[in-house]
Chains A and B, each alone.
Chain A
């Protein structure tokens, strides 16, 4: 299964507001399962990238301090119609990406 992302972006005054919601547990590996006494295995999005019109503009690294089902909002100078791709990868190697055109 790929990581599920929902992204949206619209251009206002030459600046695109790119917002994404990602479905992911962001499990730190430290939280205990009360029923078994063992920790839940670590599952954490580590890297996030935003590509606008073929150029990488944002390169992010996340830790377990980012909330579960993360929300991210970045601003990029762009034109409407530009293609945006957001891709994420977690520590287990699971990936997800979403591509859309700016309104």
Chain B
């Protein structure tokens, strides 16, 4: 191991152990459960039911989904879901409707967090990207088609 990476590794583990001893990272929270059933579901509805208990989302103008109309590289598609205008946002789920396992990610918010998330996702082909927001126990959504043109000229 090179000296530089060795130092980096020791520093990183050192910081982590300090955080653990300070009670910031309790092991139970770091080892939080992963909803395998939802994230390995092959159908959007089944995945959403496993994750949120329902798949009935109403279109809402308060959910703002930002994604490129044409993605030249589907492997890194920037997607932003902004629901900071809504009250009581509990979670945001991003769905890539035609991917083999459509559910991308779930963000649960509490306390001071705002209903906003921006990330980069993989898209296998041209498809609808859906942002689903759970607020006040109800589901709202916004969606947009993203054209994936791998190796193409963007036409």
Contact = CB atoms under 8 A, between A and B. Distances in A.
Interface of A: 1-2, 4, 15, 30, 46-47, 49-52, 54-68, 70-78, 85, 87, 89, 91, 95-99
A85 B117 contact: no
A47 B34 contact: yes
B118 A65 contact: no
Interface residues of B, number: 47
A72 B119 contact: yes
A72 B117 contact: yes
Given A2-B13, A58-B108, A73-B80, 7 more contacts: A58-B113, A65-B99, A65-B105, A70-B120, A72-B117, A77-B114, A95-B30
Interface in B102-135: 102-114, 116-122
Residue picked from B29, B102, B112, most chain A C-beta under 10 Å: B112
B119 A73 contact: yes
B111 A55 contact: yes
Interface of B: 8-9, 12-13, 15-16, 19, 24-25, 29-32, 34-35, 39-40, 75-78, 80, 84, 96, 99-114, 116-122
A93 to B, nearest CB: 8
Interface SS majority for chain B: mixed
Nearest to B124: A65
A82 B100 CA distance: 40
B118 A63 contact: no
Contacts of A63: 39-40, 101, 103-105
B62 to A, nearest CB: 16
A91 B53 CA distance: 24
B121 A66 contact: yes
B36 to A, nearest CB: 9
B122 A66 contact: yes
Contacts of B40: 63
- Give 5 closest A-B pairs by Cβ, nearest first: A73-B118, A57-B113, A65-B104, A63-B39, A46-B34
